[in-house]
Amino acid sequence: TMVAVRAQQAQVADRTINNVVLGASREGTLWRLNVDSDELSGYLEYRAAQAGRLVARLARLKIARSDAPQVESLLDETASSLPALDVVVDDFELLGKQLGRAEIDAVNRGGANREWRVNRLTLTTPEAKFSATGSWAAEPGATGGGTRRTAMDITLDIGDAGMLLTRMGMPGVLRRGQGTLAGAVAWRGSPFSIDYPSLDGQMHVDVASGQFLKAEPGLAKLLGVLSLQALPRRLTLDFRDVFSAGFAFDVVRGDAKIEDGVASTNNLQMRGVAAEALMDGSADIAHETQNLRVVVVPEISGATASLLATAINPAFGLGTYLAQLALRKPLTAAATQEFEIAGTWSDPQIKKVPRPPELHVKPGQAGAPAPSPPDAAQPAVEPKPERTQ
């Protein structure tokens, strides 16, 4: 009915817990525990009746990479051995990432699919709040120890996107940025590790008032491509200050569909002060490659800005949007430039697409930009060819 433990190291359910001080008491099927260790600290209650129920209020909880297989194996047990969860953690660390305050309400529904159902999951940091519901269940048709699949509906309310990415191990990718990221995703395997080749879903992003910075590691390299820092040498209009120093945006918004780890969009917009970048195409997340079309539209007037402020309807896509631009603002359409981006995220290959002859602005035409002196537009001596960055 009572136990007290003090140990430098203890093995609990295949997990190693270090520097443990624990006191526990039992009343019938109810256990009450107070514990302090390097990995967790706080108060827990466990009731063994039926499938069991665990209630925990913890000051801290740390799940290291070495612990993830043990946690996953618990969820692979029979439904009767998995308790319901009502857990609140003030300081939650998962696989080396500091995720702030965590709250989870989950149950195991049992049945043929052995579904582990997350009724509520929230992670709160000073930079953002993540909310999700979902499940981890056997795939349809799977038998015995068949493959399990994670499915989640997610919402991320962002107060500072740059600081959030820094917290997630991707510093120097964005500065500021606030908005939302929402959608539904699913992948084969554990909630603790996304399997990109099997990733499916759809997402919507709407972020304002930020700036892209140079990005190198992991998924951050895709944001490096989206920042369009490789474009300045291909631009004939002078947007070098817009992109080369990091594209400062008023709005980044759009929708993406994900199938087997390939994300595609037909309405991504990034609007800045001097220009707007519009994008459609796809990116292979698993192989870190892309096949994108980028259209750079100068904001020549306030009327143009009001047109560009309109969100692109994903049902019609970028092509219809550009057609409307050509009809309503032909001079803006004529000054628009189009590029294709292929290759890998770390070495994007840029190709400028020739504009149709009917969209070329003739010298002297009303609204045409005045010609620049030779030394202001291009060097007098053609530079040696460079490898595309």
Backbone angles phi, psi at 172, to 5 degrees: 70, 25
Which of 48-62, 109-123, 150-164, 259-273 is most confident? 150-164
Average pLDDT (174-201) is: 92
pLDDT of residue 354: 85
pLDDT of residue 367: 42
Q: Report the distance separating Cα 141 and Cα 120, nearest Å.
A: 27
Q: What is the CA radius of gyration of the chain?
A: 27
* Token reading at 270: 């990034």
- Strands 84-94 and 53-63 turn out to be parallel
Q: Report the distance separating Cα 193 and Cα 181, nearest Å.
A: 20
Higher pLDDT, 383 or 32: 32
Backbone angles phi, psi at 176, to 5 degrees: 60, -150
Share of the chain above pLDDT 70, in %: 76
pLDDT of residue 347: 85
Name which of 98-107, 233-242, 341-350 the model is least confident about.
233-242
Q: Is the pLDDT of residue 356 over 60?
A: yes
The DSSP bridge partners found for residue 279 are 268, 294
Average pLDDT (373-384) is: 41
pLDDT of residue 4: 97
**Residue 232 binned pLDDT confidence (cut-offs 50, 70, 90):** low
* Token reading at 388: 């595309």
Q: Whose structure tokens read 């990116």?
A: 283
The DSSP bridge partners found for residue 284 are 262, 289
pLDDT of residue 215: 62
pLDDT of residue 373: 42
Contact 176, 162 (CB under 8 A): yes
Instruction: Express each pLDDT in 3-23 by its tens digit.
Output: 999 999 998 877 889 999 999
Q: The pTM is what?
A: 0.83
Helices (H), 125-187: 161-167
Higher pLDDT, 358 or 64: 64
Q: Report the distance separating Cα 338 and Cα 340, nearest Å.
A: 7
Percent helix, percent strand, percent coil in the chain, to nearest 5? 20, 50, 35
Higher pLDDT, 199 or 333: 199
Name which of 70-79, 101-110, 134-143, 349-358 the model is least confident about.
70-79
Contact 275, 337 (CB under 8 A): no
Q: Is the pLDDT of residue 204 over 80?
A: yes
Q: Is the pLDDT of residue 86 over 60?
A: yes
pLDDT of residue 122: 98
> Which of 314, 341, 188, 209 shows the shortest CA–CA distance to 272?
209
Return mean pLDDT, the chain: 81
Q: Is the pLDDT of residue 363 over 50?
A: no
**Residue 385 binned pLDDT confidence (cut-offs 50, 70, 90):** very low
Among left, alpha and beta (phi > 0; psi -120 to 50; other), residue 294 is beta
Q: Report the distance separating Cα 222 and Cα 208, nearest Å.
A: 19
> Which of 257, 299, 300, 301 shows the shortest CA–CA distance to 278?
299
> Which of 31, 69, 65 shows the shortest CA–CA distance to 48?
31
Q: Is the pLDDT of residue 242 over 80?
A: no
**Residue 263 binned pLDDT confidence (cut-offs 50, 70, 90):** very high
pLDDT of residue 335: 80
Q: Is the pLDDT of residue 229 over 80?
A: no
pLDDT of residue 246: 72
Helices (H), 3-144: 68-75
pLDDT of residue 365: 45
* Token reading at 363: 């010298």
Q: Is the pLDDT of residue 308 over 70?
A: no
Average pLDDT (198-205) is: 97
* Token reading at 261: 């780890």
Average pLDDT (365-389) is: 43
